[in-house]
Amino acid sequence: MSEGNFFFEAEGNRYHPTPRTRGPWDPQSLHGRVIAGLIAHQIEREYGEPAFQPSRLTVDMFRVAPMKPMTVTTTLVRDGNRIKVVDASMTDDEGTEIARGNVVFLKRAEQPEGEVWSPPEWNAPSPDDVEPQPPPANAGADWVPAWETRRIQGDFGTVGQKQAWIRETHELVAGLAPSPFVRAAQASDFTNPFANSGSTGLNFVNADTTLYLHRDPVGPWVGMEVAAHHSSNGVAIAECVMYDLEGAFGRSSVCSVANRRRS
Q: pLDDT tens, 18-38?
A: 998 998 888 889 999 999 999
Please tell me the predicted confidence (pLDDT) of residue 44.
98
- SS3 label, residue 43: helix
pTM of the model: 0.93
User: Would you state the pLDDT for residue 100?
Assistant: 99
Q: What is the DSSP string of 59-96?
A: EEE-S--BSS-EEEEEEEEEE-SSEEEEEEEEE-TT--
What amino acid occupies position 198?
G
Q: pLDDT tens, 97-129?
A: 999 999 999 999 999 999 999 999 999 999 999
What is the chain's Cα-based Rg? 18
Residues in the chain predicted with pLDDT less than 70, given as ranges, are: 1-4, 136-144, 261-263
For residue 117, the model assigns a pLDDT of 96
Angle at alpha carbon of residue 27, lines to 23 and 32, rounded to 5°: 20
Domains with residue ranges and CATH for the chain: 5-107+144-258 (2.40.160.210)
Residue 79: strand pairing partners:
84
Burial group, residue 245, by CB count within 10 angstroms (0-12, 13-18, 19+)? middle
- At residue 5, the pLDDT reads 86
What's the pLDDT at 25?
86
Q: What are phi and psi of 63, to 5 degrees?
A: -140, 155
Reference 233, options 255, 261, 210; nearest CA is 255
Task: Spell out the residues 6+ positions from residue 118 whose beta carbon is closer than 8 angstroms to its own.
Answer: none
